[in-house]
Structure 1
Amino acid sequence: MRAHVQEIVFDCAGPAALVRFWSGLLGGDPVDRGDDWSYVDPPDFVRLAFQRVPEDKSAKNRVHLDLEVPDPSRAADEALRSGAVRVGGLVTDEQGSFQVMRDPEGNEFCFVTG
């Protein structure tokens, strides 16, 4: 039996706010199913869901999303205006470039070129 990814779920404190941040980055219309659960279906991507949990984020994510963009620096500048935080500087090597970011609740993600 093979499984497929139905959705990626982020634990968070504010599902309604966080879904709007991510829908701004990836597209799609944010949906609030209640105070504790929101989701977005970005075009050409799996659903991202946001579930309210009582505990704060306390460590670095063990999994993060790499978002391919033409220009990581420009994408980072735009994301900053929506509440993201830049982590370190742009890294460039023979594989391309990436910029580490955090969403408004501290979840890490990267803007990358390939």
Structure 2
Amino acid sequence: MRARVQEIVFDCADPAGLVRFWSALLGGAPVDRGPDWSYVEPPGFARIAFQRVPEGKAAKNRLHLDVAVADPVAAAEEVRVLGARRSGGPVTDEQGTFQVMFDPEGNEFCFVTD
């Protein structure tokens, strides 16, 4: 069997708000299918969807997105106006530099050098 990722779904409290953050970051138009479900189709990537759930985020994500940028430090500064925040400082190793971030609802993602 061969399968492909059709979409990645985030549980959240505010689908309409979160889809606007991710569409501003990755491109694509935010789509609100209803008050409990929104999605964006970023160019060159699987659809990212957001579904309302009653419980809040309780622990670190077991899965996160690595978002390639030319300068992770500069990208971290730019995305703060959208509601993101840093987790610690940038890390540089033999593979490049990355910066761990939180989206407006606390979901982790990383800016990584491309």
TM-score w.r.t. the length of structure 1 is 0.99
Q: CA deviation at 1:3?
A: 1.2
Give CA deviations for 1:60-90 in whole Å, capped at 9, x if unaligned.
0000000000000111001111100100000
For 2:71 and 2:100, locate their aligned partners in 1 and report how far apart those are by CA, in whole Å: 13
For 1:46 and 1:78, locate their aligned partners in 2 and report how far apart those are by CA, in whole Å: 24
For 1:68 and 1:48, locate their aligned partners in 2 and report how far apart those are by CA, in whole Å: 16
SS at match of 1:17: helix
For 1:57 and 1:2, locate their aligned partners in 2 and report how far apart those are by CA, in whole Å: 32
Ranges of 4+ aligned residues in structure 1 off by more than 4 Å: none
Identity %: 75
SS at match of 1:10: strand
SS at match of 1:76: helix
**1:87-102 to 2 correspondences below 5 Å:** 87-102=87-102
SS at match of 1:20: helix
Which structure 1 segments of 5+ residues have no match? none
Q: CA deviation at 1:38?
A: 0.1
For 2:81 and 2:94, locate their aligned partners in 1 and report how far apart those are by CA, in whole Å: 30
Does 2:54 match 1:54? yes
* Aligned CA-pair RMSD: 0.6
Q: CA deviation at 1:20?
A: 0.1
**1:1-114 to 2 correspondences below 5 Å:** 1-114=1-114
